[in-house]
Amino acid sequence: MKLASLALFFSVSLSSCFSLNFEPPALESRESRTMMRVDEASGALEWLSIDRGVRVRDSNGVRHLRAVLAGARVYPIEGGTLCSMDVDLLDQVDEQDPLVYEFADDLAVKEVGLAEGTQSELVVWRLSRLDRATYWLALFQRPSDATEQREVSRFPAFDAASLALQNAASSAGENQWRIEGRTLVFEVPSTLENALLCQDELLSQATPMHVGFPLNLRPSSFHYNEQRFAVRYAPDDDGWFLIPTTKLDAEPVVKSVSIDELRAAGLPIETHAQLRARFAHLGIVD
């Protein structure tokens, strides 16, 4: 899901930041992959989006790629009407929520590039960073009128007692998700019986965890103490969480610009060896 590349894991509502140019998506990808990690020293969230088999729309693709390579904060990276946000257009929006500007100040593009893959296909990648990840995670969990009502017999409350405890905790401003070092922790009040049911549910992967996106990772450990049930999610050995890869099943319909034409237009396209070296610097084996 492309919202993962925006890491809405920590975002506020940016509905009024939709693209104002009303153009179709400039890019179409055969495969999109997103990886996420927490910078333990600074408390920032970093996420890397990697799109492979990218087709560049001939009408607006080259112009869009130039902007992306210059650091334009368009999410998701392909742009497009009503499904993307251009954070750099905030000044054109009246009566914007102050939190949106605060979020924009914390959001930065650190690295971005184009490369030719092993199958002579275009790869578009971008590393973004959101400072104060703990702050935004807490803010994201703040209850609102649109917050889904908890129900008994649904994860994480399989009995009435646990539901009551969790509702009370939410009313008191308690968050379910937090960051500890490089790990994510989900914790709720719970009876022992409910905790065992929650553990079984997560181990069966019947209930993918959601932190603004599906976190399809197996839990690293479970803990229960003093009516508290906690689940810890640790990243892979390379420090990255891998968000489920999305693939385009249908044949692409975009009339696209070739890689040779992109080079002729002056766009820098690295080799796959150079791309591997960049990813290795980030601790990723491509």
Per-residue pLDDT of 14-48, as tens digits, reads: 433 444 455 788 999 999 999 999 988 899 999 99
Indicate the pTM of the whole model.
0.84
My answer on whether 23 and 46 are in the same domain is yes
Amino acid identity of 260?
A: D
Spell out the residues 6+ positions from residue 1 whose beta carbon is closer than 8 angstroms to its own: 213, 214, 244, 246
DSSP state of 128: E
Provide the domain limits for residue 171.
143-175+183-233
Q: Are residues 90 and 167 in the same domain?
A: no
DSSP element (H, E) containing 38? strand 31-39
Element at 273 (helix H, strand E): helix 272-281
Tell me the pLDDT of the chain averaged across its residues.
84
Lowest-pLDDT range of 23-32, 42-51, 75-84, 204-213: 204-213
- Comparing 38-52, 65-79, 82-96, the range with the smallest average pLDDT is 82-96
State whether 127 and 66 are in the same domain: yes
Amino acid at 206: A
Are residues 153 and 32 part of one domain?
A: no
In a domain, 147, yes or no: yes
Q: Are residues 244 and 260 in the same domain?
A: yes
pLDDT at 156 over 90: yes
Are β-strands 241-247 and 31-39 bridged in parallel, bridged antiparallel, or unpaired? antiparallel
98 versus 171: which is more confidently predicted? 171
**Residue 267 backbone zone (phi > 0: left; psi -120 to 50: alpha; other: beta):** beta
What pLDDT digit, counting tens, does each position of 253-263 carry?
567 899 999 99
- Residue 124 and residue 30: Cα distance in Å, rounded? 11
Whether residue 153 has pLDDT greater than 80: yes
pLDDT of residue 84: 75
Lowest mean pLDDT among 61-65, 74-78, 158-162: 74-78
Instruction: Indicate the number of domains in the chain.
Output: 2
Flag whether pLDDT at 283 surpasses 90. yes
220 and 162 in a single domain? The answer is yes
Same domain, 247 and 228: no
Q: Give the per-residue pLDDT at 139.
A: 87
46-60, 152-166, 183-197, 207-221 — which is least confidently predicted?
A: 207-221
**Token pair 């930041």 in the structure block, residue:** 17
Is 49 a domain residue? Answer: yes
80 pLDDT tier (thresholds 50, 70, 90): confident
Q: List strand residue ranges (DSSP E) for 24-170, in order.
A: 27-28, 31-39, 44-52, 55-57, 74-75, 85-86, 107-116, 122-130
- DSSP helix/strand/coil, 34: strand
- Give 174 or 90, the one with higher predicted confidence: 174
Per residue in 259-282, pLDDT (tens digit) is: 999 999 999 999 999 999 999 999
Whether residue 286 lies inside any domain: the answer is no
Name the least confident of 13-27, 81-95, 144-158. Answer: 13-27
Do 83 and 22 share a structural domain? yes
Length of the chain, in residues: 286
Nearest CA-CA partner of 50 in 255, 283, 280, 279: 279
Q: Half-sphere exposure of 185 toward its Cβ, with a 13 Å CA cutoff?
A: 15
Region 2-15: mean pLDDT is 38
Which of 233, 249, 269 is the last residue before a domain boundary? 233
The more confidently predicted of residues 139 and 95 is 139
Q: What is the rounded distance in angstroms from the CA atom of residue 68 to the CA atom of residue 216? A: 29
Fill in the amino acid letter for 92: Q
Q: Between 216 and 116, whose confidence is greater? A: 116
Rounded-to-integer distance, Cα 35 and Cα 283, Å? 12
The reply to whether 12 and 112 lie within a common domain is yes
- Tokens representing 223 are 């803990």
Query: For residues 77 and 275, is the Cβ–Cβ distance under 8 A?
Result: no
Alpha helices (H) in 115-254, listed in sequence order: 133-140, 160-171, 192-203
Does one domain contain both 110 and 252? yes
Does 127 lie in the same domain as 35?
A: yes
> Could you give the percent of the chain with pLDDT greater than 70?
81
The confidence score (pLDDT) of residue 208 equals 61
Banded model confidence at residue 204, pLDDT cuts 50, 70, 90? confident
Least confident of 13-17, 81-85, 109-113, 211-215: 13-17
Buried b (16+ CB within 10 A) or exposed e, 228-265: ebbbebbbeeebbbebeeeeeeeeeebebbebeebeee
Domain shared by 88 and 210, yes or no: no
- pLDDT for 133: 92
